[in-house]
Structure 1
Amino acid sequence: MEVKTKKILIIDDDSRNIFALSAVLKAKKYTCLSAQSAKQGFDALAADKNIHVVLMDMMMPDMDGYQAMRKMKADPELKKIPVIAVTAQAMVGDKERCLEAGAAGYVSKPVNVDELVLLLNKYF
């Protein structure tokens, strides 16, 4: 019997966020990869075809999460990978803006781990 790997790519320009998310998700038996920019994230997605979910920080320099999600949705190989927006933006309308941009889900920082795991379980 093959064990399905729960592989997640975390794209965030703040290494502290990557460290914290990776630590809690690894404790929940997820495999985590990370990238500190959208460009690094696209490189990781090109190199590893077994990434099941992307956790995307929405506010990054160079290419933000909104631009990165649009680029993923335009790519036939990447558009099927669910993206969960992880953002400090928690104002009225921010969740809707993320979902309209193509996010499959939304969690605000600081991340509620139980809420995130519930979202992740939809894709594994």
Structure 2
Amino acid sequence: MGSGDCELHVLAVDDSSVDRAVIARILRNSKYRVTAVDSAERALEVLEMEPNVNMIITDYCMPEMNGYELLRRVKGSRDLREIPVVIMSSEYIPNRITRCMEEGAEDFLIKPVRQSDVSRLCGRLRN
């Protein structure tokens, strides 16, 4: 099996069922294996049970725990800190983007997320 044949596992997190379905479809079209969940809390549960996630892509604005807080939890964990975290938001707020990037986000995408956004991330992950 060549290195390009390896299937990467992405954890997609969004409280909107429509947005979650869209990002999951885009990721699957890019040949990712996708686990989609509706909250940051659920994402942490999945990571506990299945730590072999290659990337997390999460919405910023969610009830309870937002994407920034999920990012901080992941980057603060000895076991999870190496997993790239990508934040998505429908709002372009420069200081929010800066704060996420300073905290260790891999990227910050403005919704709607496009196939080209995912392809760019895909290239980075596979290298």
Q: Same fold (TM over 0.5)?
A: yes
Q: Kindly, what percent of the aligned residue pairs are identical?
A: 27
1:73 matched to 2:81 = no
Output the CA distance in 2 between the equivalents of 1:74 and 1:81: 11
Q: Which position in structure 1 is the counterpart of 2:37? A: 35
- For residues 16-49 of structure 1, the C-alpha deviation after alignment (integer angstroms, 9 at most, x for no partner) is 1110111122122111101111110011111112
**5+ residue gaps, structure 2:** none
SS in 2 for 1:9: strand
After TM superposition, which residue ranges in structure 1, 4 or more long, deviate above 6 angstroms?
none
Aligned amino acid, residue 119 of structure 1: L
Q: CA deviation at 1:116?
A: 2.5
Partner residue of 1:25 out of 21, 24, 27: 27
1:116 matched to 2:118 = yes
Output the CA distance in 2 between the equivalents of 1:75 and 1:101: 13
Output the CA distance in 1 between the equivalents of 2:88 and 2:74: 16
**Structure ranking higher in helix proportion:** 2
Output the CA distance in 1 between the equivalents of 2:108 and 2:33: 20
SS in 1 for 2:7: coil
Root-mean-square deviation (CA), in Å? Answer: 1.4
Aligned amino acid, residue 121 of structure 2: L
Aligned amino acid, residue 58 of structure 2: M
Quick check: 2:27–2:118 contact (8 Å CA) kept in 1? no
Q: Which position in structure 1 is the counterpart of 2:17? A: 15
Aligned amino acid, residue 111 of structure 2: K
**5+ residue gaps, structure 1:** none
- TM-score normalised by the chain length of structure 1: 0.91
